[in-house]
Amino acid sequence: MAKNDDNLIDFGLDPAVEAVIHGHERNQEMRSMPLAERRKLKREQAKADKRKPRRFAVDMDEDLIEWAKETGEKYSCPASQIIQLAVQLMKDDVSSGTVNLHDYRVPANGPRYENRIFRKPVGENSS
Amino acid sequence: MYFGKSKYIEKKECGMIFTVVNQKGGVGKTTTAVHGAAGLARRGYKTLLVDLDAQGNTADTLGIEAGNDLYPWLIGNKKVSAIGVEARENLMVIRSDKETAKIKTILAGEPFREMILINHLHKYQLDYEVVVLDCPPSVDVLHTAALMAADRVIIPTKLEQLSSKGVSEMMRAMATLRQQPTCRCELAGIIPTFYDKVTSESHIQLLNLTKAFNGKVWPVIPQDTQVREASRAGQTLFEFAPRSRAGEAYDQVVDRMEVIFRDGKKRR
């Protein structure tokens, strides 16, 4: 993370603040638009809002992100659907007992979570 | 002005101290302090919230009985565990009420009075990871003591014409205090509160703030009736309406506080 001259974290302009400023400016712009264009923009906004509850940001290893993107391209589908399929398959495996998440649990370093899920090298999971 | 060097400060370290301060009243200091402290407590950090304001609104906001723990703590040298109220899991509160005025009178004749908070925190509060100080809206001994004790300062400010002036005054006060060898306060963030998306006044003031303080401006807290309703119900927004606009904004504020806390912990 970037640091300023005092060696403190420098956030740059906070993304949340940026979003508020841009949101206001977009609304101002919309007011001066012709009605048809305004309606079109509103429809697009409504579509984006509808997708919002299905959006979820997670931290993932870069190589997995790359793999999902490449696989998506290979099968001409969005990367998010590849990840959704992977999670669905894992959900089935966890439900059926094929995968036991307890085997992958290691104590976390930070205070927020007690554990983290970590894939140990093959052969160590059963211990 | 020289407050001297406390014999306790160098010896022990307590958790990170966030001071929520603004000389102006009604800008959302208590709401910010309560939600910052409650948010960190919910994330598992052992947190101490100290109300330094004689209005005692912290207790009301958290739905706990009113009382004064500040007096026995600062003047009676009682331990927090003996007098504080565990308002939520991981959240201990030192309440305040009109009796707090007495503390100021007693302290008026004491040497090194501005060091009283930092001395008490470092002497007794070693087991709290985070301490949040909710300041009164006046420049008095407790206000100065809270700045002297602070590691990081959070300034909530209403998006009105005079708001950036108030923030600049706070920055000047902090610069003066930082000349003291024992003062280590740094500005963590400025929180614009009561953002009204309908009027352009809020927007202009927000732009002015970001021009002057850029990355130090933290997520905007929108005007939201849920804040008042949550306070009336004696609950935080995280409990009462977590998906409300203000609830989500305060959650983002807690994110920023958590990042600073974790970064500060690493550097120690």
Tens place of pLDDT per residue across chain B (268 aa): 334 443 333 334 568 999 999 988 889 999 999 999 999 999 999 999 999 998 989 999 999 998 889 999 888 888 888 888 999 999 999 999 888 888 888 887 777 788 888 888 877 656 789 999 999 988 888 999 999 999 999 999 998 877 677 888 888 888 888 888 888 888 999 999 999 988 888 888 898 888 888 888 999 999 999 999 999 999 999 999 999 999 999 999 999 999 888 877 655 5
Residues of chain A neighbouring B219 (CB-CB closer than 8 A): 14, 16-17
DSSP states of B62-100 as a string? Answer: HT------HHHHHTS---HHHH-EEEETTEEEE---TTH
Strand order, beta sheet including B85-88: B85-88, B91-94, B47-51, B130-134, B16-20, B152-158, B186-193
Q: What is the pLDDT of residues A36-81, one digit of tens each?
A: 988 898 899 899 888 888 888 888 899 999 999 999 999 999 999 9
Per the listing, tokens 């809270």 go with B146
SS3 B47: strand
Q: What is the ipTM score, two decimals?
A: 0.73
DSSP states of A64-105 as a string? Answer: HHHHHHHHHHHTTS-HHHHHHHHHHHHHHHHHHTSS-GGGGE
Q: Is B212 at the interface with chain A, CB within 8 A? A: no
Closest Cβ opposite residue B215 in set A10, A23, A112: A10
Closest Cβ opposite residue B218 in set A4, A9, A14: A14
Q: Is A23 at the interface with chain B, CB within 8 A? A: yes
Q: Rounded to a whole number, what is the distance in Å from the CA of B104 to chain A's nearest CA?
A: 34
- Please name which of B186, B181, B102, B131 lies closest in space to residue B18, comparing C-alpha atoms: B131
Helix (H) or strand (E) holding B133: strand B130-134
Interface A-B, measured as beta-carbon pairs within 8 A, has a size of 57
Q: What is the pTM of this model?
A: 0.74
- Alpha carbon of B84 to those of A97, B32, B57, B63, B87: distances in Å? 47, 20, 16, 15, 9
- Please name which of B56, B78, B204, B244 lies closest in space to residue B136, comparing C-alpha atoms: B56
Q: Is A10 at the interface with chain B, CB within 8 A? A: yes
SS3 B54: coil
Q: Which two tokens stand for residue B107?
A: 């302290």
Question: Do B207 and A17 count as a contact with CB atoms less than 8 A apart?
Answer: no
Alpha-carbon gap, residue B110 to B107, rounded angstroms: 5
Q: Rounded to a whole number, what is the distance in Å from the CA of B177 to chain A's nearest CA?
A: 17
Buried (b) or exposed (e) across A70-108, using 16+ Cβ within 10 A?
A: ebbeeeeeebeebbeeeeeeeeeeeeeeeeeeeeeeeee
Question: Do B197 and A110 count as a contact with CB atoms less than 8 A apart?
Answer: no
Question: Which residues lie below 8 Å from residue A105, measured CB to CB, with a gap of 6+?
Answer: A115, A116, A117, A118
Residues of chain A neighbouring B197 (CB-CB closer than 8 A): 20, 23-24, 27
In chain A, residues 51-110 whose CB comes closer than 8 Å to chain B: 110
